């Protein structure tokens, strides 16, 4: 018996075959082994049997449907790698079946090859325009079917690979953008939190320079030297803390809580910013009860919170400001700390967005612009307080001042890392 695949006269699948259906087809090495699953949709049992044997012989998994409706139903449960779809079928024809499959997000990417006895170009164009990737015309050569299947399975896998690579690339780009944003925040945080203590140190040195005698010598009281040393130690601790947060968690706050008296942290923050308080003629009233329990907090970071809140009040209010700093236990057994001023106040919109990243830069002309700050300080305060397990907020009224508040635990919290998103 002659090899059917090499016969120059194609034999249609819907005509009687000259060899048993269960006898393996002789396929060239080009398509001797294919991987994947194919859904064959045809209402002709003979065609189905021939195609099932043909595809199984080359190692493919074969699913069968005898009409368009059952084919669509099958794809709800099993997604084939490719669909061989007959055009002329009872019920919904191949064109409508293809249209429905391509309208479904779950099956839109499955390649469809039409099997058709229609020879008119308009029919072929219609099928391709509905989303089919190819067609084979009946009667067709078996090897042609396999070659077309192999081609479109390869194309589909390449498309999946490209989509996965694009997704990985988009993720990498997003990660790099986030890293750049985090680096920007880190650099701004360093410059922001060091600006006030360094400014205070410069003001102290300027005042000392004015006390020089005729020989240019300055008598430096030991208390001033001690204050300058303590300020330098706090600045060094702050630098180390910022570097630790950046290295260990590119966008996070690492805290190392220890039992500490809140009054000590407040006094340190006031001491470092005292020259600025004197310059702006700011009065501070500390209302800290002596019997408060110790808080478990990271001294360096909570120092940053008080320093930022005090400096923020000075920057955005006229001189001669009065600040009231208090601390007390709230009903939740947390330490409630407040920094209140009698300044110009804010409206509700400003208060709601005040702790967002760069909030002041997004609200031009809504705050006192005595400072060029972008609003990073209050964002940092929120990150620090939340890392401690507390909350932070503000109440304010126009011309009635503002009261910033935050809570800290008095029970021990293990060292923890807090890394909220940029949009938190």
CB 294, CB 327: distance < 8 Å:
no
pLDDT 10s digits, 78-127: 999 999 999 888 889 999 999 999 999 999 999 999 988 776 778 788 88
Taking the C-alpha atoms of residue 341 and residue 333, their distance in angstroms, rounded to an integer, is 25
What is the rounded average pLDDT for all residues in the chain?
79
Lowest mean pLDDT among 14-23, 270-279, 378-387: 14-23
- The residue that leads in pLDDT, 196 or 148, is 148
Residues in the chain: 424
Instruction: Please identify which residue in the block is written with the tokens 């016969």.
Output: 7
- Show the domains of the chain with their CATH numbers: 10-16+28-140 (3.40.50.2300), 188-418 (3.30.565.10)
Angle at 297 between CA 296 and CA 299, to 5 degrees: 135
pLDDT 10s digits, 388-397: 999 999 999 9
Taking the C-alpha atoms of residue 354 and residue 363, their distance in angstroms, rounded to an integer, is 9
Quote the percentage of the chain above a pLDDT of 70.
Answer: 75
Instruction: Please identify which residue in the block is written with the tokens 């001042």.
Output: 401
- State how far the alpha carbon of 11 is from the alpha carbons of 5, 87, 151, 203, in Å: 9, 19, 22, 99
Taking the C-alpha atoms of residue 96 and residue 226, their distance in angstroms, rounded to an integer, is 87
* Sheet with 61-65: strands ordered across: 61-65, 37-41, 82-86, 112-116, 134-137
- State how far the alpha carbon of 98 is from the alpha carbons of 36, 95, 123, in Å: 20, 5, 13
Indicate the pTM of the whole model: 0.47
User: Which tokens go with 1?
Assistant: 């018996």
Closest CA to 274 of 324, 380, 371, 201: 201
């Amino acid at each position: 018996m002659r090899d059917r695949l090499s016969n120059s006269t194609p034999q249609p699948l819907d005509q009687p075959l000259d060899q048993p259906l269960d006898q393996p087809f002789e396929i060239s090495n080009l398509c001797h082994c294919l991987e994947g699953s194919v859904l064959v949709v045809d209402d002709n049992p003979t065609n189905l049997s021939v195609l099932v044997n043909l595809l199984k012989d080359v190692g493919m998994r074969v699913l069968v449907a005898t009409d368009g409706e059952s084919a669509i139903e099958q794809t709800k449960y099993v997604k084939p790698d490719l669909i061989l779809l007959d055009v002329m079928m009872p019920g919904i024809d191949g064109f409508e079946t293809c249209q429905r499959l391509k309208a479904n997000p779950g099956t839109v990417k499955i390649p469809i090859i039409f099997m058709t006895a229609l020879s008119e170009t308009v029919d072929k164009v219609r099928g391709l325009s509905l989303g089919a990737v190819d067609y084979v015309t009946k009667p067709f050569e078996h090897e042609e079917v396999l070659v077309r299947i192999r081609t479109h399975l390869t194309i589909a896998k390449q498309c999946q690979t490209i989509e996965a690579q694009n997704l990985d690339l988009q993720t990498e780009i997003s990660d790099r953008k986030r890293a750049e944003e985090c680096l920007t925040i880190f650099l701004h945080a360093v410059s922001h939190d060091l600006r006030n203590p360094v400014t205070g140190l410069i003001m102290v040195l300027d005042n000392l320079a004015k006390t020089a005698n005729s020989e240019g010598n300055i008598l430096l009281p030991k208390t001033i030297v001690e204050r300058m040393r303590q300020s330098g130690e706090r600045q060094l601790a702050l630098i180390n803390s910022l570097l630790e947060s950046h290295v260990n968690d590119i966008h996070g706050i690492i805290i190392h809580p220890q039992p500490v008296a809140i009054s000590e942290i407040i006094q340190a923050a006031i001491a470092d910013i005292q020259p600025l308080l004197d310059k702006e003629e700011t009065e501070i009233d500390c209302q800290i009860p002596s019997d408060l329990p110790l808080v478990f907090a990271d001294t360096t970071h909570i120092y940053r919170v008080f320093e930022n809140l005090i400096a923020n009040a000075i920057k955005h209010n006229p001189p001669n400001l009065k600040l009231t700093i208090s601390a007390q236990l709230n009903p939740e057994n947390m330490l409630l700390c407040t920094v209140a001023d009698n300044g110009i106040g804010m409206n509700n919109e400003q208060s709601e967005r005040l702790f967002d990243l760069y909030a002041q830069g997004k609200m031009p002309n809504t705050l006192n612009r005595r400072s060029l700050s972008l609003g990073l300080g209050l964002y940092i305060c929120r990150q620090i307080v939340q890392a401690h397990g507390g909350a932070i907020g503000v109440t304010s009224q126009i011309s009635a001042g503002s009261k910033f508040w935050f809570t800290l635990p008095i029970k021990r919290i293990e060292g923890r890392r807090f890394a909220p998103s940029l949009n938190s």
